[in-house]
Amino acid sequence: MSWRLLDDVDKAILYALQQDARNATTREIGDQVGVTASTVSNRIAELKDDGIITNYLATLDYSRAGFPMHVLIHCDVPVHDREAIAHRTLDIPGVVNVRELMSGTDNIRIEAVGETRDDITGIVSALSEEGVQTTDEILIQNQHFRPLSSLEPEGED
Amino acid sequence: MSWRLLDDVDKAILYALQQDARNATTREIGDQVGVTASTVSNRIAELKDDGIITNYLATLDYSRAGFPMHVLIHCDVPVHDREAIAHRTLDIPGVVNVRELMSGTDNIRIEAVGETRDDITGIVSALSEEGVQTTDEILIQNQHFRPLSSLEPEGED
DNA sequence: TTTGAAATATGCAAAAT
DNA sequence: ATTTTGCATATTTCAAA
């Protein structure tokens, strides 16, 4: 696993991008920590290259978007196949998030979305055909994200 | 729950923003479905107002960022307090994601991040002090996101 | 509602410190 | 490594269709 020590500029960048990855401008971020927009731009590119920033994504309220079936599926797969299977499940239509867990059982958790119950049934079938045993299926009521507090700037400039 | 039927423009926007919320330009999106950047801009604002787009966030590789303790915590709370408690747990330092589940037991799932085991222990203590019973704690090995496939454009223009 | 054009902002690259 | 400058692009606004 590669490393990299984060300074205040990096932290401010990551915090801002966790808050609003689309509208946080390089200048705004730079002003908070006293560097120019160019520096912020360079750093963001570095952080992406270093694999610290993995993605920028919009989070949706799937119900409001017309997909009221939003579920969490527990899966049980052999440990040595876990990573490969996790990647394959990502390609099943309706799957939006996969977590690999360091657990003896229920070691993959899949977040999936559909318009109808049949859509979810189809996803579970697809999992079954991939040799993935599903052990539980739970409706997700709501989901919230927060930036990592350790990255929050103290109050500079 | 409010509604809104998504047309092809909306879908293309949501798909693009799920792929790269920071770098997807309004023009690129518009070109794909044959509308101008202005229209895309207007639509994005609408989708945000309607609560369909809830957030834009950067996803991080916490290990590479210097936070190797990345865990999923199962919590068991009284159903009628679930939403209120879920919101409060978001303010505990280190908590980055909370899912409310429609389940009799283990109905809140908390994703938390720390530098050391003690950080995680502290988070669990904080939960306990909020009256939240934690029933399990599992290391997260990896996590992947995908745009919702139903939103993918067919191939227009 | 969508557009097109103007005005504003933003990000990026190159050269300099 | 960061900044300054200059350039190319992106976004927003608003009048008009």
At residue B1, the pLDDT reads 64
CATH of domain B69-139: 3.30.70.100
Task: Write down the pTM of the prediction.
Answer: 0.96
**Cross-chain Cβ contact A147/B96 below 8 Å:** yes
Q: Is B104 exposed, middle or buried (CB count within 10 Å of its CB: 0-12, 13-18, 19+)? A: exposed
Residue whose CA lies closest to nucleotide C9 C1': A25
Whole-number distance in Å between B10 CA and C1 C1': 14
Contacts of A46 (CB under 8 A, 6+ apart): none
Measured on CA atoms in the order B127, B136, A85, A51, is the torsion positive or negative?
positive
Rounded to the nearest 5°, which phi and psi values hold at B33? -120, 5
Identify which of B149, B57, B147 has the alpha carbon closest to the alpha carbon of residue A97: B147
At residue B154, the pLDDT reads 82
One of 1.10.10.10, 1.10.760.10, 1.20.1340.10, 1.10.287.3510 is the CATH number of B8-57, namely 1.10.10.10
Residue whose CA lies closest to nucleotide C13 C1': A38
pLDDT (tens, 9 = 90+) of chain B, 157 residues, equals 667 899 999 999 999 999 999 999 999 999 999 999 999 999 999 999 999 999 999 999 999 999 999 999 999 999 999 999 999 999 999 999 999 999 999 999 999 999 999 999 999 999 999 999 999 999 999 999 999 999 999 854 4
Could you tell me the residue ranges of all domains in chain A? 8-57, 69-139
Is the Cβ–Cβ distance between A4 and A144 less than 8 Å?
no
Q: Which of A7, A22, A118, A120 to mutate to test the interface with B (most CBs of B within 10 A)?
A: A22
Whole-number distance in Å between A152 CA and D7 C1': 34
CA dist., res. A112 & res. B8, Å (int)? 22
Largest CA distance in chain B: 57
At residue B4, the pLDDT reads 84
Within chain B, how many helices (H) and strands (E) appear? 5, 5
Mean pLDDT for chain A overall? 96
> What stretch of H or E contains B58?
strand B53-60
**Cross-chain Cβ contact A90/B55 below 8 Å:** no
CA dist., res. A57 & res. A60, Å (int)? 9
* Orientation angle between helical segments A26-33 and A37-49, nearest 10 degrees: 100
Whole-number distance in Å between B21 CA and C6 C1': 27
Nearest CA in chain A to B56: A58
